[in-house]
Amino acid sequence: MIRLNVLAVSLLTLALLPELKTHPAARVLNVASLAACGPLPFKTVYPASKAFVLFWSRGLRAELRRTNIRICVLLPGPMRTNADVCGRLEKQGWIGRRTAVSVETAARSAVRGLHKGHAVIVPGPAAKFNRFLMAVLPTTVLLFLTGRVFSREAN
Whether the pTM exceeds 0.85: the reply is no
Strands 120-121 and 101-102, by their bridges, are unpaired
Give the separation between CA 36 and CA 114, rounded to whole angstroms.
19
| Residue 132 counted as domain residue | yes
5 is a catalytic site residue: no
Q: Give the domain CATH number at 106.
A: 3.40.50.720
The pLDDT of residue 146: 76
Catalytic residue from among 46, 80, 105, 114: 46
- For 34-70, the pLDDT digits (tens) are 989 988 877 889 999 999 999 999 999 999 999 999 9
| Residue 148 counted as domain residue | yes
The pLDDT of residue 120: 96
List the chain residues with pLDDT less than 70: 80, 83, 85-99, 149, 151-155
Overall number of domains in the chain: 1
Give the separation between CA 14 and CA 32, rounded to whole angstroms.
17
| Residue 16 counted as domain residue | no
Among 152, 39, 36, 38, residue whose Cα is nearest residue 96 = 152
| Domain span holding position 140 | 2-6+27-154
The pLDDT of residue 71: 96
The pLDDT of residue 89: 62
| Residue 135 counted as domain residue | yes
DSSP string across 94-142: HHHHHH-EEHHHHHHHHHHHHHHT-SEE--SHHHHHHHHHHHHS-HHHH
| Residue 11 counted as domain residue | no
DSSP 36: G
The pLDDT of residue 154: 62
| Residue 12 counted as domain residue | no
